[in-house]
Structure 1
Amino acid sequence: MADGVRAVVADDSHFMRSVISDILSDGGIDVVAQARDGEEAVSAVIEHKPDVVTMDVEMPVMNGIEATERIMAECPTPVLMLSAHTDENADVTFEALDKGAVDFFTKPGGEVSMEMSRLKDQLVEIVVSVAAVDVGTTKSGGANSGDGTGSTAAGGSATDRTGAGAAAGQTTYVANPTLVIGSSTGGPKMVEQVMEGLPIEADLRVLIIQHMPEGFTGRFAERINTRSEYEVREATDGARIGGGEGLVAAGDRHMVVKNYRNGRLRTKLTQDEPVNSVRPAVDVTMRSAAETIDDPLVGLILTGMGEDGADGIRRIKQAGGETIAQDEATSAVYGMPKRAVETGCVDTVLPIDDIADGIIDAITTEVT
């Protein structure tokens, strides 16, 4: 609930500061200060110690990236970036996430006041969710994090799992595995971390559904492509992938697995009605994957608000797939993973640092 949430609103436009502050106030959030630039935002955070900051990207004196970095260093506070819908701002927004911002929300174009009014419920919801994130502690796993269920930290390196000529007691990858990842608030950095930990030898086909608007998913795919061994791109209608490749669901499009044959899958993009109030929806991709793919399938739910992905996890489990959820301790927002776990269809709950190993365990078999 918004009751008791205290916010600082930073934007160089007086008009936008007023619109955002009014929306948050109407939603029950106490706006304790407004800032015209990054330097004022840092001072306001130190003085008022709010629960959350809404941070414009481009501001004079000190921009949103520098301000976020200062806030994280001097007075760690959850930051929600408010970004204009441009390629340049997409790059800057991801840089802000690298500096510690929790998530971002795109500023509307056109008639700003009318658009903001239409999006007000979404803005209030994400501000409240971001405010609940604990940025004062390290959100990572490790040997002592989470409940340890199914932990694979001691399971050996990827080189111990090579397929050809594996000796008894070693493990080998199953043929033609597919991984479907769903995430939302706080998810981009988590998705990148998981993908960085997956060896190309696993030959996964990877489908990524991150709740993210149009104009940002292409840049997100480029980041993953650069940081992982997998060839990852933004999904297009009719896109096909095989082993060692991945697709990121395009913003404002559902990604459906259309067909699967000989280790290659083809996707279709649709603008059907939002599911769980979002598009792209994790459930849409997971359901279609469960219905279409007859080779090994793994479903993963990472941090995020809402219940998207819970039914998809259920469908993957019913189809004989393996299912994993991020644990509460390392989730920025324990909404989507919690709902998935509550279905009773999650095989393993893991801290973020152990998830890549958990995926590998799910697609390896013991050689006897």
Structure 2
Amino acid sequence: MAGGVRAVVADDSHFMRSVISDILADGGIDVVAQARNGREAVEAVVQHEPDAVTMDVEMPEMDGIEATERIMAERPTPVLMLSAHTDENADVTFEALDKGAVDFFTKPGGEVSMEMSRLKDQLVDIVSSVAEVDVGGSGQSTATTTRQRDRSRPESASYTANPTLVVGSSTGGPKMVEQVLSALPLSADLRVLVVQHMPEGFTGRFAERIDARSDYDVTEATDGARIGGGEALVAAGDRHMEIKNYRNGRLRVKLTQEDPVNSVRPAVDVTMATAADVIDDPLVGVILTGMGEDGADGIQRIKAAGGRTIAQDEATSAVYGMPKRAVETGCVDDVLPIDDIANGILDTITTEVTS
């Protein structure tokens, strides 16, 4: 998987640069240069033209955010941010995603070398996946554009009662999720559940970002949380989100720390499977960009329960892993570019348009 991938490692810590470079090299990734700060990172990218960059957030002279912005302007290259588990780092990490970074990976705490060793396979996999992303492509549009286009739908559109939407995504997903939810009108009265592969400490900030960009009331899930129409929950990092019960248009979730599913927690499959088991009103499952196969089983479960299913297309997916696996099940009703997914969701719950 990693064969042929060339990477630049940027970190102001000599120790961390060495640990990360060794892990990547052991995984078959060619580390063509190391950088001590953002300025050196930009220079290394221009000089070596790597397939991917691992970028520390906080560095002297030029931080990771400015370096990412410069790289995207001078030689667009997939960037993976390496961030610590702090609220401040969560904020700047999302800012880096806004500047063009593809995804992020959390730096280990405590015994760094032991933690990094434990996470080494994950780091090699995500760098390999990020390296495949076409950051110079024009397939991805902005949430603002999509929201304007989707709001051209007639105000008189009538929707089925009590619909529930489950959205799953991974690598490259945060911006895509924001785009889709920002385009959904409150009149659709959806109950929305979002499962984004994201570590603990970041999902709360992610929920706040979606809430600010969406007409829906979006919060991070807590154990026992209930939502009704016009509300959304984002699965908490390191917790599976199960649908515990559903009554009178309101659903309640349960958070667990049971074993990872598809090597991840939270897992899309867990939320989709329990939604299919519990919810008897209209149900829509959507799989967006991401590495791995999480969500494929969940899509089958939703389809078997009579729900509707949508997957993002390859052209607009940062990583066409999860959507591809979902499509391969034969249980996906529509494969759509990111710009059309919000309308695709609304189409599944629209009953009529009156004059």
Q: CA RMSD in A?
A: 1.4
Name the structure 2 match of 1:157: 152
Q: How far has the Cα of 1:192 moved from its partner?
A: 0.2
> Separation in 1 of the partners of 2:340 and 2:353?
23
| Deviations 1:237-278, CA, capped at 9 Å, x for gaps | 000000000000000000000000000000000000000000
Amino acid at match of 2:246: Y
Q: Which residue in the other structure is 1:65 paired with?
A: 65
- Are residues 1:36 and 2:36 paired? yes
1:220-231 aligned within 5 A: 220-231=206-217
In 1: Cα distance, 2:254 partner to 2:183 partner: 28
Q: Which residues in structure 2 correspond to 1:223-302 (within 5 Å)?
A: 223-302=209-288
Q: In 2, distance between residues paired with 1:302 and 1:212? A: 14
Runs of 4+, deviation exceeding 4 Å: 153-156
2:187 corresponds to which of 201, 214, 232: 201
Whether the aligned pair in 2 keeps the contact of 1:161 and 1:364 (CA below 8 Å) is no
173 and 182 in structure 1: CA distance in 2 versus 1, 3 angstrom threshold? same
Query: For 1:82-126, what per-residue CA distance to the aligned partner results, in whole angstroms no more than 9, with x for missing partners?
Result: 000100000000000000000000000000000000000000000
Matches within 5 A, 1:123-134: 123-134=123-134
Cα 1:154/1:35, change in 2 over 3 Å: closer
Letter paired with 2:152: S
8 Å CA contact 2:150, 2:183 repeated in 1: no
2:9 alignment partner in structure 1: 9
Question: Contact (CA 8 Å) 1:258, 1:267: kept in 2 or not?
Answer: yes
Aligned residues: 349
Specify the alignment match of 1:88 in structure 2. Answer: 88
Give the partner amino acid of 2:94.
Answer: F
Match of 1:217 among 181, 203, 219: 203
Q: Does 1:76 align with 2:76?
A: yes
Decide whether aligned partners of structure 1 residues 285 and 232 sit closer, same or farther in structure 2, where only a CA change above 3 A counts. same
Q: Is the 8 A contact 2:150 2:342 kept in 1?
A: no
Which amino acid in 2 is paired with 1:297?
L
SS for the counterpart of 1:119 is helix
The whole-number CA distance in structure 1 between the counterparts of 2:149 and 2:175 is: 24
Which letter maps to 1:320? G
CA displacement at 1:136 relative to structure 2: 1.3
The alpha carbon displacement at 1:141 in A equals 6.5
Per-residue deviation, residues 150-198 of structure 1 (Å, max 9, x unmatched): xxx999824x153xxxxxxxx4100000000000000000000001100
For the Cα contact (< 8 Å) 1:259–1:292, is it kept in 2?
A: yes
Partner Cα separation in structure 2 for residue 155 and residue 193 of structure 1: 11
Q: Aligned partner of 2:289: which letter?
A: T
Q: Which amino acid aligns with 2:187?
A: E
Paired with 1:154 and 1:252, the residues of 2 have a C-alpha distance of: 35
**What is the DSSP-based 3-state SS (H/G/I as helix, E as strand, rest coil) of the residue aligned with 1:232?**
strand
Equivalent residue number for residue 326 of structure 1: 312
1:155 and 1:12, CA in 2 relative to 1: closer, same or farther beyond 3 A?
Answer: closer
Distance 1:347 1:331 in 2: 17
Query: What is the alpha-carbon distance in structure 1 between the residues aligned to residue 341 and residue 141 of structure 2?
Result: 9
Structure 1 CA distance for aligned equivalents of residues 150 and 9 of structure 2: 46
Instruction: Kindly provide the CA deviation profile for residues 305-337 of structure 1, in whole angstroms up to 9, marking residues without a partner as x.
Output: 000000000000010101000000000000000
Cα distance in structure 2, aligned partners of 1:213 and 1:75: 29
Residue 119 of structure 2 corresponds to residue 119 of structure 1: yes
Change (3 A) 1:47 1:240: same
* Structure 1 residue corresponding to 2:337, chosen from 334, 345, 351: 351
Alpha-carbon contact 1:181-1:208 (below 8 Å) kept: yes
State the TM-score, normalizing by the size of structure 1.
0.93
Which whole-Å CA distance do the structure 1 matches of 2:319 and 2:39 have between them? 28
Query: What TM-score results when the alignment is normalised by the length of structure 2?
Result: 0.96
Given that residues 196 and 234 in structure 2 are in contact (C-alpha distance below 8 angstroms), is that contact kept between their aligned partners in structure 1? yes
Residue 100 in structure 1 maps to residue 95 in structure 2: no
Q: Are the equivalent residues in 2 in contact too, given 1:258–1:288 (CA < 8 A)?
A: yes
- Among candidates 161, 168, 177, match of residue 175 of structure 1: 161
Verify the 8 A CA contact 1:275 1:281 in the aligned structure 2. yes
Cα distance in 1 between the residues matched to 2:208 and 2:38: 28
The alpha carbon displacement at 1:137 in A equals 1.0
Q: Distance in 1 between matches of 2:118 and 2:26?
A: 13
Corresponding position of 2:50: 50
Show the counterpart of 1:304: 290
Structure 1 residue 366, shift from structure 2 partner: 2.5
